[in-house]
Amino acid sequence: MDLRIKTALPIANPNGGYNSFPISDFCNFDENSCTQTATGYQYIFLDEFKKACLFDREFVIQAFSNVELFALIPYRIGRITPVTIPEDYEYSIIGAPKFVQIQGNYEKNECVFPYYQYKSDRILNFTCSTFDNCPEDFNPVIPTRIFLAYKSSDLAESILHDSLWEFSQQNLKIAIVLLYSSIELGVMTLAEKTENSYKDERISSKIHLIQKEIKDEDIKKWLRKIKKPIKKNIIDLRGQVAHLGESINEKDLLKSYATALEFFWHYDKLKEYLEIA
């Protein structure tokens, strides 16, 4: 999962908002940073992506995505309109902004209620409903933004992509349960070669086992540091939903995804270090 590969990068505005700039506006790329050509601003990937995650839902999806597509979708009332990613593209659909309820002129009954009917890795089906007295020739074209990420054979990353889609559609409870599962599977993968990994299934215990296998002091320090936010922002939040049946809010989930982004930022390096295929 290479989160550095983007078609656009998010940057905070001085007024507190966020903008996306095309990747062509940056130069001097290395493993951890790049430079905004016009301003000379040094863009530290992990720091900037985590800050973007804390801003709003759409920037969470952008932080985890590799490609953004902009499509003009012609809606046909009562029909399904598919958007298909070509087979030779090694991407999966991970998010799209949820539609506002109405598109069009409500006063003239020239309006539709678009929604997503089906999603797979490569196909996103749209459809829409409308009023009985909507003109038959009213078939609007609606701009649509779709986020893609590289397909992964790693189950933890695949479930993360499913979680991001649910979050993009504001299905918060499903999103946190899937996000927890992706972290759990990721930690299990990293711990699979450690001694006694089967004895305790808790994420924090498995991270401790991974630490014992690591000789690099910087990695050990990071593993100790990440345990607390994983518990607070992901494990405990999932417990509110799965065990207590409580509702959660989007602001809490922004922190969850910021934590997950940091974990998956280091995930491939840890697999390589631990010699996990």
The domain spans of the chain are 8-55, 68-150, 155-273
Q: Provide the token pair at 58.
A: 């759409």
What does the pLDDT average to over 249-264? 93
Half-sphere exposure of 223 toward its Cβ, with a 13 Å CA cutoff?
A: 24
Each residue of 122-150: b (16+ CB within 10 Å) or e?
bebebbbebeeebeeebebebebebbbbb
Which residue in 212, 211, 261 sits closest to 233, CA to CA? 261
- Of 261, 74, 67, the closest CA to residue 145 belongs to 67
207-229 confidence digits (pLDDT tens): 888 888 888 888 888 988 999 99
Per-residue H/E/C for 38-90: CCCCEEEHHHHHHHHHCCCHHHHHHHHCCEEEEEEEECCCCCCEEEECCCCCC
Q: What percent of the chain has pLDDT over 70?
A: 92
Q: Dihedrals φ, ψ of 118, to 5°?
A: -155, 145
CA–CA distance, 179 with 1 (Å, rounded to integer): 15
Residue linked to tokens 């559609």: 169
Phi/psi for 85 (5° steps) reads -80, 125
Radius of gyration over every alpha carbon of the chain, rounded to an integer in angstroms: 21
Q: Quick count: other Cβ atoms within 10 Å of Cβ 162? A: 18
Please state whether 154 falls in left (phi above 0), alpha (psi between -120 and 50) or beta: beta
Chain mean pLDDT for the chain: 84
Query: Tens of pLDDT along 140-191?
Result: 777 788 899 988 889 999 999 999 999 999 999 999 999 999 999 999 888 8
Strands 26-27 and 33-36: antiparallel
- The C-alpha angle 111, 117, 118, rounded to 5 degrees, equals 150
The per-residue pLDDT for 101 is 61
- Distances in Å between the alpha carbon of 32 and those of 25, 28, 35, 149? 17, 11, 11, 19
C-alpha neighbours within 13 Å on the C-beta side of residue 99: 19
Give the tokens for residue 174.
């499903």
Residue 115 three-state SS: strand
State both tokens at 50. Answer: 């985590």
Tell me: pLDDT of 197 over 70: no
Average pLDDT over residues 223-237: 92
9-56 residue pLDDT tens:
888 777 777 788 899 999 999 989 999 999 999 999 999 999 889 888
Whether the Cβ atoms of residue 264 and residue 160 lie closer than 8 Å to each other = yes
* pTM exceeds 0.95: no
Distances from the Cα of 71 to the Cαs of 93, 134, 151, 210, in angstroms? 14, 25, 21, 44
